[in-house]
């Protein structure tokens, strides 16, 4: 995870907002900490990942737009949670 602050409230909100635009269900697991999978559309569950900078996340989706969903969420994470305004979530 390239975001210096890790997965705190603002990046979680950006992730959940983007995930919620898609029909597919989204699950996320912090591979680094070996956490349980959580619902990627739930901010409360995403915070439980305890993803700090350098954490590896596995993003999975199921549904009609699963590929698009994973691609968009992976791009958000790789961009350091860069939002449309050009600012990073910090």
> Catalytic site residues?
8
**In whole angstroms, how far apart are CA 47 and each of 50, 59, 76, 85?**
6, 15, 17, 24
**The token pair that represents 77 in the structure block:** 């994470």
| Beta strand segments in 1-90, E | 25-30, 38-39, 57-62
3-state secondary structure of 85: coil
């Amino acid at each position: 995870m390239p975001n210096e602050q890790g997965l705190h409230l603002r990046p979680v909100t950006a992730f959940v907002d983007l995930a919620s635009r898609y029909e597919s269900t989204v699950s996320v697991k912090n591979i680094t900490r070996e956490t349980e999978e959580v619902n990627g559309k739930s901010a409360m569950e995403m915070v439980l990942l305890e993803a700090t900078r350098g954490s590896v996340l596995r993003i999975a989706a199921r549904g009609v737009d699963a590929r698009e969903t994973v691609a968009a969420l992976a791009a958000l994470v790789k961009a350091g949670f860069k939002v449309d305004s050009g600012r990073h979530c910090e």
